[in-house]
Structure 1
Amino acid sequence: MADNKELELAWEFVNNTNRSIFLTGKAGTGKTTFLHRLKMDCLKRLVVVAPTGVAAINAKGVTIHSFFQMPFGPILPDTDLNASKSFNRKFNKTKIDIIRSMDLLVIDEISMVRADLLDGIDRTLRRFKDRNKVFGGVQVLMIGDLQQLSPVIKESEWHLLKPFYKNGFFFSSHAYQECNAVTIELKHIYRQDNPTFINILNEIRNNVLSEASAAELNKRYIPDFTPEPDAGYISLTTHNNKAEATNITELNKIDGQNRFYQAKVEGKFPEYAYPNNEALELKVGAQVMFVKNDSSPEKRYFNGKIGKVIHLDQDEVIVHCPDDEFSIVTKPEVWENINYTVDKETKAISENKIGSYTQMPLRLAWSITIHKSQGLTFEKAIIDAQGAFAHGQTYVALSRCKSLEGLVLKSKIHSRQIISDANVITFNKNAEANEPDEAVLELSQKNFQLDLIVEMFDFYPFLYPANRILDIYYKNRGSIEGQVETPLLTVKTAITNFLKVSTGFNAQLKELSKTEPLPDISDVIQERFKKAVAYFKDQIETHFVTPLKSFGYTTDNKAIDSDLAKAVDLLEELLAAKLLFFNGLTDGFSSKSFLELRAKSKFFSERQT
């Protein structure tokens, strides 16, 4: 990936800044690969969500609606999300912990996310993180291609949303307008390598199909084309019933015994997210498509590979693909449904498997809808785009193909079939004109590192539990015995002093950074940082740790005891996090070390709730 400067720029922005990012790019530019690399190697605590069940399973994430507990109807900016009668908005402690400790939210297939849904995400994150920051201060990585499939909005829903939004796309949401996201477009195409074909696809993508390109493309118009039985062509069509009818007709033409393969569903796996037919009917001679990448080390097949069934057994299907020397012995594959939890030991966000779906990774594939083909790659395809009815359909269909030679058109492509939304074209033009460069990256890195240092010396979250303990004590003095007031007043005075000192230090840091390089590599800032750490460590020991040693109480009232315990736990948790940072960074500031330490700490504040 190192040869691709846009991918590396995106990697730097995600990992070394806190800017929100819209990562886009034509079909086949490696957006999905980037996401998988991020999940493996990112130091930030991240959660992956997607708008549909199938997209979520493919991205190894969860759906937006289930994670954020969103209602399915329109989400109006001026209504209370929690008042939705049709939806349970009560978040459990685990979910709240995940949101509070989240650094990065990845939204895959962002082109299908409606504006009001993105604003709903913003409101939920603000509720549990920082209510004064867009997305609650969480960095958001939005991945997708606006020239592909767009959000589904019913007429009645748009009637309600129209007063608040210019259009239904995510970029017209209030949160997106506010978040100052950078747009990075991946330009290197891995799927196709023919410059003529790439040029045609670009023209279609940008709604400027020239006569010369249309003529070149329409050379592939072969109206009465009938592929050889073993040629491995798949037909792409606009409507689901067309694709289903073709597959059933073709299957029925084959003499011979059919066999059914029943999916095995374990735990929680919602029906709408099934990645394949629950009862899969196959015959020897059937054309099939693999619907998952091979999980074995041999990597014999990938999602979208076409082949023909040559043998059926109870628990395996043997498939032969054109141009392969070998046949593929296909066994059931497992799709996992995951949810997220916070690990009690490491405090990291971890993925948990809550359900699985086991089935042959195959489906009948004489025909498939353009919609279902999004994200797939085909060697040979017959495209029937005559009924193209939605933005991006023609582009999605054509861009599935690896080459112009592997493409057959059932109907000619005219520019009128290339339905592109004017809002998308305008947005893309503006984004292209403002693509970030190294200078923007460096400034964003500097601001990110300064923000991390500010976070490290921020003692404001300590006020809530300290005040809460005193408040409970003063209201219930008669029911509480022990040393509460004196140690807590000492701590509270110390917090107030720390806030003054850190405000002064932050102002000084901001001034220094105007002329200094990144804090990571600035000798001047490092020197000031080390002095600040030494000062705060000493002060914490004297005015925090020592007085808290004399703190203690007893009460017979269970409710008071529970309230006090909660506040004391939070105070101790925040103190442990601060000491972890101060002890771990005595030799100087490093954003990488800071993120590693933060991933180990449960560093969040409950003052927002």
Structure 2
Amino acid sequence: MVHIKYILIDEMSFIGQNVLENIDSHLRQAFPQSAHISFAGVSMILVGDLGQLPPVNDKPAYASNRRAKPLWEEFKIMVTLDKIFRQDGENIQQQRFRQLLTNLRDANPQIDDWKLLMMRTPTNIDVGSNSEFENVVHLFSTNDNFQSHSLVNGALGYVQKIVYKPGSAPPDPPTYVMVDFDNYLGLPFEDHHPNIVPITAIQKGITLQLPLRLAWALIIHKSQGLTLPKATIDIGPRERTRLTFVAVSRVKSLEGLRIMPPFTYGCYEKMKKGRQLAKCKAKENRLKLLEDN
């Protein structure tokens, strides 16, 4: 801890008042000589987009009325990155998709955007294209909607091989499982298969477990930060704050998206009434003014 000068936190929209206050408290404990200063004088760098999903079971730090409020006000420098890489491309379709995402991000629903999204429902996609979505990840609004049928939690891959010790077989635990991760950038385990990584079992209490879970489906919160080649999304019975934006923006193009089931424009329009939306926009405007000045 002694040598820490900067702390970088990604997915800043997930930071709630409890998390920010706990970070501040722990830093003051770690650096008692600077305990009178916010974050004990350590430079905090937050990365992400306040227009994405808010924290779960907590109030956003920017909307707090507690000690987190003055802590949030300590952030006075903002740098905006205006190049979109996930949905890059200068053809008309990509430009239109980026504009749709901008409107979604700003909670500015447009009926033409909704109509465009509804063209990606199963009844409006041709049979051949529909078949391409049979084995893609399905994004749901909550866990209640599905059964549980560099590497970090949430990384997606495909099991290629299950390896046992000589003479062992199920139900004995495997020695390791070979998983093919599309975005793995580390040292290769096998030169001819650089994306395949051995995943070994870990001890949890008295149980030996493999840290793998079937991922034919994810909740939209879990998908934030991921880039998916294709996805089927279900936003549920109502548009929760920023939910549709995060779900739709996981794919690189509109052709990589299937919406199932369709939702009404009335549901889509309710994003304008999202909780904490006005406070979020006010905080963004404050940071924008600081950036401009």
Q: TM-score, normalised by structure 1?
A: 0.35
Change (3 A) 1:291 1:148: farther
Matched letter for residue 184 of structure 2: N
Superposed structure 1 runs of 4+ greater than 6 Å apart:
326-329
332, 346, 353: which one aligns with 2:198: 332
Task: Give structure 2 stretches of 5+ with no counterpart.
Answer: 89-93, 150-159, 164-172, 203-207
Take 2:200 and 2:96, find their aligned partners in 1: how far apart are those partners?
39
State yes or no: 1:211 paired with 2:61.
no
Does the residue aligned with 1:135 lie in a helix, a strand or coil? helix
Does the residue aligned with 1:382 lie in a helix, a strand or coil? strand
Take 1:217 and 1:328, find their aligned partners in 2: how far apart are those partners?
37
Q: Which position in structure 1 is the counterpart of 2:56?
A: 152
Q: Which position in structure 1 is the counterpart of 2:169?
A: none
Q: Which position in structure 2 is the counterpart of 1:238?
A: 141
Equivalences, count:
251
Any residues of structure 2 matched to 1:97-108 within 5 Å, and which? 98=1, 100-108=2-10
Q: Which position in structure 2 is the counterpart of 1:433?
A: 289
**Greater relative CO (CA pairs within 8 A, separation 6+):** 2
Q: Which position in structure 1 is the counterpart of 2:269?
A: 416
After alignment, is 197-206 or 101-110 more displaced?
A: 101-110
Does the residue aligned with 2:131 lie in a helix, a strand or coil? coil
Q: Which position in structure 1 is the counterpart of 2:98?
A: 198
Q: TM-score, normalised by structure 2?
A: 0.68
Task: Give structure 1 stretches of 5+ with no counterpart.
Answer: 1-97, 248-258, 263-278, 281-287, 301-325, 337-356, 438-609
Any residues of structure 2 matched to 1:497-508 within 5 Å, and which? none
Q: Which position in structure 2 is the counterpart of 1:181?
A: 76
Q: Which position in structure 1 is the counterpart of 2:39?
A: 135
- CA apart distance, 1:206: 0.3
- CA apart distance, 1:176: 2.0
Matched letter for residue 99 of structure 2: N
Take 1:207 and 1:290, find their aligned partners in 2: how far apart are those partners?
34
331, 351, 369: which one aligns with 2:219: 369
Does the CA-based 8 Å contact 1:118-1:173 persist in structure 2?
no
Take 2:263 and 2:210, find their aligned partners in 1: how far apart are those partners?
38
Does the residue aligned with 2:80 lie in a helix, a strand or coil? strand
Q: Which position in structure 1 is the counterpart of 2:63?
A: 167
Q: Which position in structure 2 is the counterpart of 1:391?
A: 241
Spell out, residue by residue over 1:329-360, the C-alpha distance to the aligned partner (whole angstroms, 9 max, x if none).
84424799xxxxxxxxxxxxxxxxxxxx9958
Does the CA-based 8 Å contact 1:182-1:436 persist in structure 2?
no
Change (3 A) 1:364 1:294: farther
Take 2:116 and 2:214, find their aligned partners in 1: how far apart are those partners?
31
Q: Which has the higher helix share?
A: 1
Q: Which position in structure 1 is the counterpart of 2:166?
A: none
Does the CA-based 8 Å contact 1:151-1:169 persist in structure 2?
no
Q: What is the identity percentage for the equivalent residue pairs of Structure 1 and Structure 2?
A: 27
Does the residue aligned with 1:209 lie in a helix, a strand or coil? coil
Matched letter for residue 237 of structure 1: F
Does the residue aligned with 1:215 lie in a helix, a strand or coil? helix
- CA apart distance, 1:208: 0.6
Q: Which position in structure 2 is the counterpart of 1:222?
A: 122
Take 1:192 and 1:209, find their aligned partners in 2: how far apart are those partners?
19
Does the CA-based 8 Å contact 2:63-2:280 persist in structure 1?
no
Does the CA-based 8 Å contact 2:136-2:231 persist in structure 1?
yes
109, 127, 131: which one aligns with 2:11: 109
Take 2:141 and 2:120, find their aligned partners in 1: how far apart are those partners?
19
Q: Which position in structure 1 is the counterpart of 2:153?
A: none
Change (3 A) 1:436 1:105: farther
Change (3 A) 1:335 1:117: farther
Take 2:227 and 2:209, find their aligned partners in 1: how far apart are those partners?
23
